[in-house]
Chains A and B, each alone.
Chain A
Amino acid sequence: MSTATLEHLANREYKYGFVTDIESETIPKGLSEDTIRLISSKKNEPEWMLEFRLKAFRNWLKMTEPDNWANFDYPKIDFQNMSYYSAPKQKAKKQSLDEVDPELLKTFEKLGIPLSEQKMLANVAVDAVFDSVSVATTYKKKLKEAGVIFCSFSEAVEEYPELVQKYLGSVVPVNDNYYAALNSAVFSDGSFVFIPKGVRCPMELSTYFRINTQESGQFERTLIVAEERGYVAYNEGCTAPQFDTNQLHAAVVELIALDDAEIKYSTVQNWYAGDENGKGGIYNFVTKRGACRGKNSKISWTQVETGSAITWKYPSVILQGDNSIGEFYSVALTNNAQIADTGTKMIHLGKNTKSTIISKGISAGKSNNSYRGLVKVMPKAEGARNYTQCDSMLIGGKSEANTFPYIEVMNNSARVEHEATTSKISEEQLFYLQQRGISQEDAISLIINGFCKEVFRELPMEYAVEATKLLGMKLEGSVG
């Protein structure tokens, strides 16, 4: 394959890089207690919510930005040079989708997320978050009949304050880490899901996050609670326009599963990754944690991370309930100058708790891709079991893959297994497939797809198809 073709393919554009021209209300840059009071008042929040934010902010002021443990450097973020709230101007309260600005509906349609009643995704309820606010949630009525609450976070604070107050910050405390504290202080919107006792959510739930405004951060908050025997599968997707400045995305996601409940959380992350030299792109510094509070409960994280300039993310499970199960399935792909440091933490507290970690890292270009994971078995976790498998695939000669497994076992009945492999897409594999009439592009997709199979089969069907396409697209031209 000629160099020219390679370059052409490698420089294919990020197709979600457009900006929606919409009138937005963006508060002035800067961060202080006043900023937080302003955000809270814009959202008409009750006093306890403001108190939660202020407490987080005061903690954050005392904390320092983490810098020395990571395997890479990044420029200091100027927290005063960023806006913390940006919302498309629209009517205060939307009764139906007809009242949503057509520009917004068009934007989501362009992203492949139709929100209008006629075109909605069959049997998937969607909450669409644009910059700082949720603009629409589909299938609300049908979910309500089943007893499921699925709404924007702001709405939940208004309509279900006792539920929010009970669970918010109970998995990720306001002082948990630097970015979680920041999020707790300034978060603007996100999704809230509540599955009552004995209810199997009749459809998949999905939230789609879109950053539109330049120089604004996105700080969303997601809270999912499944009561006894509840079940929900929740999917999250994200994109952002192409700006040459970096934007910060610092989300917090908390999951709570009570006795015999199950939460399946899937993410396909495709934030703008910056250009080939690493200019621009999203800093994705996210705290995601689930608590298996009840016995026999199960939380499973599946993620496909393809975007962002830097990804820092460790979806974790605290296995409190006896016999509870935590799972982490991850594909992280980095190309060009991208950096990903991602993995999980499995904290075994209860008896006979089980965790499985399957991580697939693919690094191309001059990117840096690390798996970092902690398996911790506490003294009372009799019979705990963990299986970890970390596979890395290197593409080209300039990328880097690392594995940092941390294992702490304080109960000697525990069984912890760790396996790791590193491989490359070889010229011979490509030639073999091409010799059978398969184009180079399709050959790469096929090999990557095979490499990621154990993770993709955990994804909902349409996400798996999307993820396969996405990986193929991101890698085009990087082998040769």
Chain B
Amino acid sequence: MLLEIKNLHAAIDGKEILKGLSLKINKGEVHAIMGPNGSGKSTLSKILAGHPSYEVTKGEVIYEGANLLELEPDARAREGIFLAFQYPVEIPGVSNSQFLRLAYNEKMKHHGKEELDPLEFNDYLKEKAKIVEMSSEFFKRSVNEGFSGGEKKRNEILQMAVLEPKLAILDETDSGLDIDALRIVAEGVNKLRNSENAIILVTHYQRLLNYIEPDFVHVLADGKIVKEGGKELALELEAKGYDWVKAATI
């Protein structure tokens, strides 16, 4: 098993958001986590990545057999956890390639593998950029600065391609994308999907799941998983709305 979440409770600023969430993920699987606004979807993503503002009050998260919650966010990342942000952050004055090379080499160093010099990395990056149809013009630009919404999301997937995570969490990656950008992003994710990694798709809408087909769908409401099923559950949700799940659980 790659990841096991057991009875997870978590709070931000003293307010409990997750109220006993459990989830198991194996390599090669794609899990969609759906739910209405405020159900705790993004909180789950941030907790897995180690955001300092969230506090785990109860429960466990086991990743590759070890306690994930003990690790700093950067250590988690080097162990293969990747979060594609809903709102990617701008880093003025730092070029995309400089940032990505640093991130890539940190991972390589951690795993005792050879680091790449700027020229080698540039070649590597060019290959990866094809996955999300990004031109090398983006490499020189400051990280996410002046990027359109779609470009930012493509840049997230580019980073995923570069870092080759074992567990990728895509937090509302489809939000704010027009149909072309959505297709590019989704196709990119599909190309990166393989038997050695797992993907968690956090999304409000079923639309993304037309492009990236999940193995499992979990519906989150009020900090707990209230319904689980295969990809057909997403369609049912789309048709009946979240009130249907909420009503069913009461």
In whole angstroms, what is the CA distance A422 to B110 when docked?
Answer: 36
Q: For residue B78, which residues in chain A have a CB less than 8 angstroms away from its CB? A: 437
The distance from the CB of B113 to the nearest CB of chain A, in whole angstroms, is 13
In whole angstroms, what is the CA distance A45 to B207 when docked?
Answer: 86
Given contacts A446-B99, A450-B142, contact A434 B89 (CB under 8 A): no
Given contacts A427-B53, A431-B73, A447-B94, contact A437 B89 (CB under 8 A): no
Would you call A438 and B94 a contact (CB within 8 A)? no
In whole angstroms, what is the CA distance A437 to B75 when docked?
Answer: 6
Would you call A437 and B99 a contact (CB within 8 A)? no
Which size class do B's interface residues fall under?
Answer: 20 to 34
Which size class do A's interface residues fall under?
Answer: 20 to 34
Q: Mostly helix, strand, loop or mixed at chain A's interface?
A: helix
Q: Is A215 an interface residue (CB 8 A)?
A: no
Q: Is B203 an interface residue (CB 8 A)?
A: no
Q: For residue A41, which residues in chain B have a CB less than 8 angstroms away from its CB? A: none
Would you call B52 and A1 a contact (CB within 8 A)? yes
Q: Is A150 an interface residue (CB 8 A)?
A: no
Given contacts A436-B159, A438-B74, contact A447 B106 (CB under 8 A): no
Query: Interface code A445-464, partner B: CB below 8 Å = 1, 0 otherwise?
Result: 01101111110000000000
Would you call A438 and B92 a contact (CB within 8 A)? no
In whole angstroms, what is the CA distance A436 to B83 when docked?
Answer: 8
In whole angstroms, what is the CA distance A316 to B50 when docked?
Answer: 48
The one of B51, B90, B92, B142 in contact with A431, judged by C-beta atoms closer than 8 angstroms, is B51
Q: Is B238 an interface residue (CB 8 A)?
A: no
Q: Is B72 an interface residue (CB 8 A)?
A: yes
Query: Interface code B88-103, partner A: CB below 8 Å = 1, 0 otherwise?
Result: 1111111000111011
In whole angstroms, what is the CA distance A447 to B89 when docked?
Answer: 12
Q: Is B129 an interface residue (CB 8 A)?
A: no
Q: Is B77 an interface residue (CB 8 A)?
A: yes
Given contacts A427-B52, A447-B91, contact A438 B106 (CB under 8 A): yes
Total number of A-B contacts with CB less than 8 angstroms?
A: 81
In whole angstroms, what is the CA distance A451 to B143 when docked?
Answer: 12
Q: For residue A426, which residues in chain B have a CB less than 8 angstroms away from its CB? A: 89
The one of B52, B89, B110 in contact with A432, judged by C-beta atoms closer than 8 angstroms, is B89
Task: Give the interface centre of B74, B78, B89, B159 by most chain A CB atoms within 10 Å.
Answer: B74
Would you call B94 and A442 a contact (CB within 8 A)? no
Q: For residue A429, which residues in chain B have a CB less than 8 angstroms away from its CB? A: 89-91
In whole angstroms, what is the CA distance A426 to B73 when docked?
Answer: 16
Known A-B contacts: A431-B73, A435-B73. Give 16 more (CB < 8 A): A1-B52, A1-B72, A427-B53, A428-B89, A431-B52, A431-B89, A434-B74, A435-B49, A435-B74, A435-B77, A437-B110, A438-B102, A438-B103, A438-B106, A440-B74, A449-B93
Q: Which 10 A-B pairs have the closest CB atoms?
A: A450-B93, A450-B94, A437-B77, A436-B103, A432-B89, A453-B93, A434-B73, A434-B74, A437-B106, A437-B78
Q: Which residues of B contact A (CB under 8 A)?
A: 49-53, 72-74, 76-78, 82-83, 85, 88-94, 98-100, 102-103, 106-107, 110, 142, 159, 163
- Please, could you name 9 A-B residue pairs with CB atoms under 8 Å apart, sorted by A? A427-B53, A432-B85, A432-B91, A433-B91, A435-B73, A437-B103, A437-B107, A446-B99, A449-B94
